[in-house]
Structures are given as structure tokens and as C-alpha cells.
Amino acid sequence: MTNLEPRLLTIYKTKLLPQLKQEFKLTNDLAVPKVSRIVINVGVKEAAQDKGVLTKAVDYLTQITGQKPRVNQARLSIAGFSLRQGAPVGLSVTLRGKRLYQFMDKLFTIVLPRVRDFQGVKRTAFDQQANYNLGLREQVVFPEVNYDKIDRVRGLEITFVTNTDNLTQAERLLELLGMPFTKKEDKNG
């Protein structure tokens, strides 16, 4: 089996790294912005009552990411939500390295264009640490998910964690990697 480098990683190393280095006047390759990890979260609040829901959610998230998710448990008991401490409430996957670039490539080229009425993602979804947060309402936009086998439509939250605190650098990095942002508004009218 050959160990091929993901397409997006090759593009980043050969074209984007030198371009970003020159654009932001950086001298060290390690100072160039990059996506260090992608964190995917799914809420499964009904898993506390039905263990089958958790199994199905783990299966589809494993298919989407290529990695088994971690089960997150409730830290506190909340009577108003019928929630006990230690009950499963969500799933999370952290992608690094080659899987990160494979997932990003699939997300930008296949998944986001399949979202209904897609006009691009907002440029305002960056947090204070220059990480980008993207929410998808349904998991069925991923080609690995069989629509006939899902129990219910679930949303996911995808966080792109960057190694920079500069919002301009992080936005430019994601833009060059292929993130389909909405067009910038022209201030002249």
C-alpha cells in the first residue's frame, strides 16, 4: 500500500506556504499560519434514554471522519433536562495530520456544495483565537451517510483550529485552502 499525501496538504506545502510567508512577510516557516486540528462535535441528548441512538451516531460519525469518536458525558445532573451525571450527551472527534487534510478537502469540494441553498460560509464565524466554527444542520450532506439508514437528522459543529491568533491570517489561510466564503461586500456601493 502506498502512503500518498493528501491533495490539499501537497498544495499547502508547495504553493500556499511560500505565498503566505511572502504575503505576511514572515521569515520562519513555522510562523506561517496553518490548520493544526479539526474538532467535530455532535450532540446526542436522547442517548441517555436509548443506547441504540448512541451506537447509530457513533457509526455515522466514524464513517464521516474515518476515526472513532469519543463519547462525552454529562458533568452535572440537571433535573429540568432529565439528565444524570455521567450520561452520554455528545460525541467528538479530533482530526490531525493527513486525516485533517482529507476531511477538509472532502468538506470544501463535495459536502458544502451539497448543502441546500448554499451561498457560502460566513466570514464572521471566527472566535478570539482565530479559530473558525462551522455548523451543519444535517449529516446527510456527507456522501458516506446512507439516508435510508439514519434514525434522525442530526447537526454537527466543525471547528478549524489554527496556529495563529491573527484573524486576517486565519481567514486568508482558509480562503486559500478552498473554504467557500461569501463574497466580500463592496463598500463603494
N residues, the chain: 189
Q: How does pLDDT run across 131-184, given as a tens digit for each residue?
A: 889 888 877 777 777 666 677 777 888 999 999 888 888 888 888 888 888 877
| SS3 of residue 105 by DSSP | helix
- Structural domain boundaries in the chain: 7-177
Q: Could you tell me how far CA 133 lies from the centroid of its own chain?
A: 7
Q: How does pLDDT run across 45-79, given as a tens digit for each residue?
A: 776 567 777 778 888 888 888 889 888 777 667 66
| Confidence band for 81, pLDDT divided at 50, 70 and 90 | low
Residues 57 and 45 sit within 8 Å (Cβ to Cβ): no
One CATH from 3.40.50.970, 1.10.10.10, 2.60.34.10, 3.30.1440.10 for 7-177:
3.30.1440.10
The H or E element spanning position 159 is strand 156-162
d(CA 64, CA 158): 12
User: In one letter, which amino acid is 99?
Assistant: R
Q: Which three cell numbers stand for residue 100?
A: 485533517
User: In one letter, which amino acid is 140?
Assistant: V
What are the helix (H) ranges across 45-159? 51-65, 97-106, 112-114
Q: What is the DSSP letter of 184?
A: P
d(CA 31, CA 163): 8
Least confident piece of the model among 3-12, 80-89, 102-111: 80-89
